[in-house]
Structure 1
Amino acid sequence: MASVSTTNKTSAASSIRGYGGLASGLDRDTLIEGMTASTRAKIAKQNKSRQTLLWKQEAYQSVSSKLVQFAKKYTSYTNSATNLSSASFWSKSDITTSGANSKYVSVTGSSAISDSLSIVGVKRMAQDAYKVSKDSVSNNTLSTGSIDFGTVDVSNLEGEYLTFEYGSKTYSVTLQSGKDSDGYIFDYSDTEKAVESMNRSLKKVSIGNGKTLADVIDVYSDTSSGTARVNMKSKDTAGNTLQMDSGSTLALDALGFKDFKDMPVTDRIIGSGGFSNAVKANGQTLTTPKTFIERTGDKNISFTYNGVTKSIKMGNNSNIDELAADLKNKLAQQFGSGRIDVKADGDKLVFNTLIAGTTDKDETSVLSIAYADKGVLGIHGALGDSADKSNRLNLNSPLKESGLLSMSGVTGDGPLNLKINNVSITGLTYNSSMNEIMQKINSSNAGVKVSYLSSSDKFTFQSTVEGASGKIEFSDDALTLFGDDAAFNSKEGIDAVIAVKYGKGETQELVRGSNTFNLEGLNITVSGTFGYKSDETLDTSSDPVTLSAKANSDQIVSTITDMIKDFNEIVQLVNDQVSTKPNRDYSPLTDEQKESMSEDQIKKWEEKAKAGILFNDSDLRSLSDSLRFIFDAGSDDKALLSSFGISTSADYSDKGKLVLDETKFRAALEKNPEDLRKLFTKKADTSTGETDGFMAKLTNVTNKYASTTGATKGILIEKAGSTYAPTSVLSNSLQKSVDSIDAYIKNLQAQLKAETDRYVKQFTNLENVVSQMNSQSSWLSSFGG
């Protein structure tokens, strides 16, 4: 669609340049506007015509959109739940089971044989092959890392944050701790390690366009002063300023940004030469020596015991035995006496859950460290490398660190050659985590799903192949990792055996790999055995499960109710458009008119101007007649539809709206479901003389006026386009008229500019002449003086 200015006044006024009337005293601008009034009037007239066409487009599209939406909802096979044209919508899908054993059988779906089918018995239920660990697979112990009670250097950077201003935006970066995704351990204990760790941290902050802070900031080791220190320089090439905006006091002081709040902005700037001289003049303190008590005193650590989380405050403990006793006592206060044991094991702490009142391990309780204040946990934390923070498997740690019993003593990180059901699980090593291993197994073609049950500390393997075809067999390193058959409670896969009977025919036994299966269009689920004797022969005295089917009346009535409501809305919309007379006192407003009106006044005016835009339109009148007379007056189908509870309103002003008698309609569903289905779904057949049913006739109407497919679209879409047929938006009858007007307006605007420029030039020449005459007159007057 061409873009054309609809301005009626400013297109002229804005073209008038310079200062008019200074010498002559003439109101040049008003004179030029009067002299160009004819052209501006033509532009205004064309703009009104253009707006009228756009309103017509909008009105036609409001009708065609309703028709398209109606067709998609009630006649499209993509909406099976509401497709009244489909025989399956009317099918007997509400199925009831009856008999003494009906609790063991559930049925859904639809089938012509549902009333004659019976489930005589279920000899055997299907079972997928599975394995469950007999015993706990982990050591059921929560252990800390090595604890150093001496004085150690503690990083002033790790876990802190810095905020940079780059250009007009600010970016905050957390100085990472722990392990990176590639196994790198973040360390800030000296200049070289801090540089690497900070650069890695910068890479984790996106600044857009696929770039990170590391692309504009380079952290490096600066030895210009003779001693290595951390420095940063800008790598920006786009002219953006980089400066330190804020950060934690500990991190800022560590890097030399002392008394940051009082520091001049110029000293915070990070240029291509690094930190400012003021920052460089300050010393750096990357680490501070602290005792164990200084590292942990008054800090909190939280434990979760069987789903309940409690926090305790660490005391002033100077050795491992004191720490163990202190934590044990505080855990007892929170979770109960004798439930959690804490002991020293060399320079580590070991936590075990106990059966209360005994010294026996409680393998059913789960204990984990939920979280702790900064500096307590982590690779450089006071409690050592506490990666194993649970008395269950650590699923994210390497196998040798996960607590898996079968991996105790394993130190290597070579390839892990798993094979399950003779399928190799590739891409794993002894350094892989259990989560990675389970994901690899579950996504492989081994036909097995493995899970770890944290509450019971066991592995469970389930065959993804149904019934007797499924199996779970380990070989190679899978035996080492998970154990042999003796380590599991196992069950072979078995098929279900179901006895069914069709009408008065012979009973047949069906073998299925699942307890849910499809039978002649019915989805049948069995949940228990019945109908067989202990020797697995049929018990003829057993009560079979029989089926009875009927249409889902509530769903059908609800859809019919919605369809009639939507149909009547279309009828109302079409009749409103063709019967509303236009008010000739209201036409599209010009920009000049809008300038003197409020938004509310403009809105109300345009509502009245739009009203009647399609009055007596021939296409809409034809559509209205098509909707009113879906069935010919006096036809057998119309009479039958009325007997089923759907009739045309007797009120003439309703112009063909439908009326639903729900009581009669529900009765028809019960007594004449096939006749009702046929009336809605049948299609014309010249060989039998069969005529279209209700929905086929409606489809013909919607296709005629609002078809969105094919080379030629529906009448209304060809005329005004539709978003439901994207190519029609720029190619329709009304749009072509709009484009023609746009081209004409463009020519008129060019003509207006040329006229205005010509008159401006003429008035400018006049002003020059008058000015010269005034000068000469003044000169002559001076002689007379």
Structure 2
Amino acid sequence: MNSSSTTRLTGFASGMDTDSIVKKLMNAESISLNKLKQNQQKQTWLSDTYRQWNADLLAFRSNTILNMSLSKTYNTFDVTSSQENSVSASASGSSLAGTYSVEVKQLAGSATFIGDKVSLDPTKTLGNSVQGTGQLTTDTLIAINVYNDPKNPAALQSVTIDVKTTDTINDVVAKINGAKDSTGKSLGLQAFYDPTLQQFTLKTKETGAGTKIDLSMNTSAESQAFLKNTLGLNTTNLVATGQNANVIFNGNEITTLTSNQATIMGINFSFKSPTIGASMVTVSQNTDGVIKNVKEFVDQYNGLLEKINKAVSDPVYRDYLPLLEDQKSEMSEKQIEMWEEKAKSGLLRSDRILSGLVTKMRSAMTSIVDNGSSYNSLSSIGISSKSYQDKGKLYVDETKLREAIQADPDAVEKLFSQLGDASKGTSGVINQISETLQDGIKELTNKAGYTGNNQYDQSIIGKLLSNTQMDITRQTEKLYRKEGQYYRQFAAMEQAMARFNSQSSWLSQQMGGGM
């Protein structure tokens, strides 16, 4: 402690090391302040630890638990197609196993113009005579009307392209591709000139019978010449329309598909080319995939459980208190690290929130779920603990799990993810765990807030830290005053001793003079 405003007379009369004496006195006075600082550090560590657990539980709930609540986790399928180059497919969580007949008679197509051969040099301007019959002799405006929304065929978009003799064919292509209507919305056009094929192509990005490109309003001689001579388009037919796909699925003809991607019977189909007759698409359940998903969940659950069990059982080293700054200055970084590792150990030993979380999770994992099947508990499908000493760790009997999935896959899915009321035994294991974690997260937030928030928040520890900081501030100010008092007292003593010494010296002189 130092008080720069205090006039210090340090031993000039007494010869005493006043600073050293005051420092020792202040060390004794600072005991209560040091305890406050150590308590503040410990509460800060505790807040950080709680907040990390808050984040970890939220991540586990948002990822592992969410994935296990999805139907696709339990409905994994292998899909094969007898004409893979024409029809490919993938299964979703709602797919039904079986063999399906799929005949593609016609693919969905975009509205497309394909020009006749026109020899253009993309590096030269259109007004350059080197372009031959494709040369543009005057600037011209080209109007384009587009219907590019299969879900709303009446949605017209219009634009006018300003084509100049100083443009190259690539400039024209860029203007078309970047064209936007009066609202700033892209027309969704794709234009391309291939110098090898000597061919211009213009098409809509979307497919389906509702798509259309209309160039018929370009009736001037200049625009007609550009469309015919430069782009090679047939000016007698300046309207292009798209087409829907035509698919026969299990004998049912479907003509309303505006895309070559479609979901039928929960199966995601991709149509690539017309089939030769019918393609047979087979969807079969992949039991290995389900087992893999369940085992991954059990591993992740065990990892979380082990981590919590360790946190609530770590030893407490009571002799290792948080280090003060003076103590740290006398230690190496490695020594500080090793000391603080001991000091932080056992922060959550027997913690009520985490211990309660373990109890509730273990209860959920051993619960019986009313799912209408004998496969109504994890143990019934081969997932259970081996010993009480495992502290809730689960093991998977893969043979028993496989038998359950093959015998009643719906029951296995419901056992995990069925929505219901836990108090009535109708809630699946995953939903019970999810609710338990949510309650734990709320308790941790109330206790210490959450990562990223100010540590001096309105949580229990946040308020405690605020109060402790105020106590530290008050105690520090008190010690400054105390230190000043000590120095003033020693200064008064030094001044008194100086006067005494002066008087003694005078008396000695007087007595010596009278001899």
Q: Please name the residue that 1:722 is paired with.
A: 450
Q: Which has the higher helix share?
A: 2
Q: Please name the residue that 1:459 is paired with.
A: 200
Per-residue Cα deviation, 1:581-615 (whole angstroms, up to 9, x for no partner): 31222221222222221111111111111112222
Residue 493 of structure 1, CA deviation: 3.5
Q: Please name the residue that 1:678 is paired with.
A: 414
Residue 448 in 1 paired to residue 448 in 2? Answer: no
Per-residue Cα deviation, 1:50-104 (whole angstroms, up to 9, x for no partner): 122122223333433321111000333xxxxxx1112343235543335xx5653
Q: Is the 8 A contact 2:134 2:231 kept in 1?
A: no
Residue 127 of structure 1, CA deviation: 3.0
Per-residue Cα deviation, 1:503-557 (whole angstroms, up to 9, x for no partner): xxx63343433333233433222233346xxxxxxxxxx5x43443344545444
Per-residue Cα deviation, 1:734-754 (whole angstroms, up to 9, x for no partner): 121111111100000111111
Per-residue Cα deviation, 1:273-306 (whole angstroms, up to 9, x for no partner): xxxxxxxxxxxxxxxxxxxxxxxxxxxxxxxxxx
Q: Is the 8 A contact 2:119 2:134 kept in 1?
A: no
Q: Please name the residue that 2:248 is paired with.
A: 499
The amino acid that maps onto 1:508 is E
Q: Distance in 2 between matches of 1:741 and 1:651?
A: 45
Q: Please name the residue that 2:363 is paired with.
A: 629
Q: Structure 1 residues 620 and 128, CA, compared in 2 at 3 Å: closer, same or farther?
A: closer
Aligned-pair Cα RMSD in Å: 3.8
Q: Is there any run of 5+ residues in structure 1 with no aligned partner, and where? A: 1-10, 77-82, 140-391, 532-541, 707-713
SS in 1 for 2:46: helix
Q: Please name the residue that 2:211 is paired with.
A: 470
The amino acid that maps onto 1:59 is T
Residue 668 in 1 paired to residue 417 in 2? Answer: no
Q: Distance in 2 between matches of 1:115 and 1:747?
A: 74
Q: Please name the residue that 1:641 is paired with.
A: 378
Residue 399 of structure 1, CA deviation: 6.0
The amino acid that maps onto 2:480 is K
Q: Is the 8 A contact 1:114 1:548 kept in 2?
A: no
SS in 2 for 1:135: coil
Residue 691 in 1 paired to residue 439 in 2? Answer: no
Residue 49 of structure 1, CA deviation: 1.1
Q: Distance in 2 between matches of 1:585 and 1:463?
A: 76
The amino acid that maps onto 2:450 is S
Residue 430 of structure 1, CA deviation: 5.6
Q: Is the 8 A contact 1:393 1:403 kept in 2?
A: no
Q: Distance in 2 between matches of 1:404 and 1:752?
A: 94
Q: Please name the residue that 1:130 is paired with.
A: 112
Q: Is the 8 A contact 1:24 1:770 kept in 2?
A: yes
User: Which of 25, 40, 55 does residue 35 from structure 1 map onto?
Assistant: 25
Q: Distance in 1 between matches of 2:97 and 2:509?
A: 124
Q: Is the 8 A contact 1:126 1:494 kept in 2?
A: yes
User: Which of 64, 73, 87 does residue 105 from structure 1 map onto?
Assistant: 87
The amino acid that maps onto 2:18 is R
Q: Please name the residue that 2:228 is paired with.
A: 483
Q: Please name the residue that 2:470 is paired with.
A: 743
Identity score, percent? 27
Residue 22 in 1 paired to residue 4 in 2? Answer: no
The amino acid that maps onto 2:112 is Y
Q: Distance in 2 between matches of 1:671 and 1:469?
A: 47
Q: Distance in 1 between matches of 2:341 and 2:347?
A: 11
Per-residue Cα deviation, 1:208-267 (whole angstroms, up to 9, x for no partner): xxxxxxxxxxxxxxxxxxxxxxxxxxxxxxxxxxxxxxxxxxxxxxxxxxxxxxxxxxxx
Q: Please name the residue that 2:334 is paired with.
A: 600
User: Which of 43, 54, 68 does residue 44 from structure 2 map onto?
Assistant: 54
Residue 698 of structure 1, CA deviation: 0.6
Q: Distance in 1 between matches of 2:292 and 2:282?
A: 22
SS in 2 for 1:499: strand
Q: Distance in 2 between matches of 1:21 and 1:527?
A: 99
Q: Structure 1 residues 13 and 432, CA, compared in 2 at 3 Å: closer, same or farther?
A: farther
User: Which of 370, 379, 393 does residue 123 from structure 2 map onto?
Assistant: 393
Q: Structure 1 residues 571 and 634, CA, compared in 2 at 3 Å: closer, same or farther?
A: same
Q: Distance in 2 between matches of 1:446 and 1:56?
A: 58
Residue 462 of structure 1, CA deviation: 2.0
Per-residue Cα deviation, 1:719-740 (whole angstroms, up to 9, x for no partner): 122228x488722111211111
User: Which of 245, 259, 266 does residue 521 from structure 1 map onto?
Assistant: 266
The amino acid that maps onto 2:379 is S
Please, which moves more after superposition, 769-778 or 101-110? 769-778
Per-residue Cα deviation, 1:170-219 (whole angstroms, up to 9, x for no partner): xxxxxxxxxxxxxxxxxxxxxxxxxxxxxxxxxxxxxxxxxxxxxxxxxx
Q: Is there any run of 5+ residues in structure 2 with no aligned partner, and where? A: 147-157, 181-185
Q: Is the 8 A contact 2:369 2:415 kept in 1?
A: no
Q: Structure 1 residues 602 and 13, CA, compared in 2 at 3 Å: closer, same or farther?
A: farther
Residue 429 of structure 1, CA deviation: 5.8
The amino acid that maps onto 1:45 is K
The amino acid that maps onto 1:464 is K
The amino acid that maps onto 2:348 is L
Per-residue Cα deviation, 1:25-64 (whole angstroms, up to 9, x for no partner): 2212122223333431111011111122122223333433
The amino acid that maps onto 2:69 is S
Q: Distance in 1 between matches of 2:47 and 2:197?
A: 68
Q: Distance in 2 between matches of 1:729 and 1:37?
A: 29
Q: Please name the residue that 1:386 is paired with.
A: none
Q: Map of 1:262-301 to 2, 5 A cutoff?
A: none
Q: Please name the residue that 1:225 is paired with.
A: none
Aligned residue pairs total 484
Q: Is the 8 A contact 1:425 1:441 kept in 2?
A: no
Per-residue Cα deviation, 1:340-366 (whole angstroms, up to 9, x for no partner): xxxxxxxxxxxxxxxxxxxxxxxxxxx
Residue 656 in 1 paired to residue 392 in 2? Answer: yes
Q: Is the 8 A contact 2:76 2:290 kept in 1?
A: no
SS in 2 for 1:36: helix
The amino acid that maps onto 1:453 is D
The amino acid that maps onto 1:49 is N
Q: Please name the residue that 1:420 is paired with.
A: 144
| TM-score, scaled relative to structure 1 | 0.55
Q: Please name the residue that 1:96 is paired with.
A: 80
Q: Structure 1 residues 19 and 729, CA, compared in 2 at 3 Å: closer, same or farther?
A: closer
Q: Distance in 2 between matches of 1:778 and 1:719?
A: 70
User: Which of 118, 121, 127 does residue 103 from structure 2 map onto?
Assistant: 121
SS in 2 for 1:529: coil
Q: Distance in 2 between matches of 1:764 and 1:728?
A: 44
Q: Is the 8 A contact 1:15 1:753 kept in 2?
A: no
Q: Structure 1 residues 461 and 625, CA, compared in 2 at 3 Å: closer, same or farther?
A: same
Q: Is the 8 A contact 2:136 2:165 kept in 1?
A: no
| TM-score, scaled relative to structure 2 | 0.80
Residue 668 of structure 1, CA deviation: 3.2
Q: Distance in 2 between matches of 1:631 and 1:579?
A: 22
Q: Is the 8 A contact 1:574 1:620 kept in 2?
A: yes
SS in 1 for 2:249: strand
Q: Structure 1 residues 454 and 728, CA, compared in 2 at 3 Å: closer, same or farther?
A: farther
SS in 2 for 1:75: helix
Q: Distance in 1 between matches of 2:108 and 2:23?
A: 92
Q: Structure 1 residues 46 and 732, CA, compared in 2 at 3 Å: closer, same or farther?
A: same
Q: Is the 8 A contact 2:93 2:266 kept in 1?
A: yes
SS in 1 for 2:347: coil
Q: Structure 1 residues 690 and 759, CA, compared in 2 at 3 Å: closer, same or farther?
A: closer
Q: Is the 8 A contact 1:125 1:515 kept in 2?
A: yes
Q: Distance in 2 between matches of 1:469 and 1:74?
A: 43
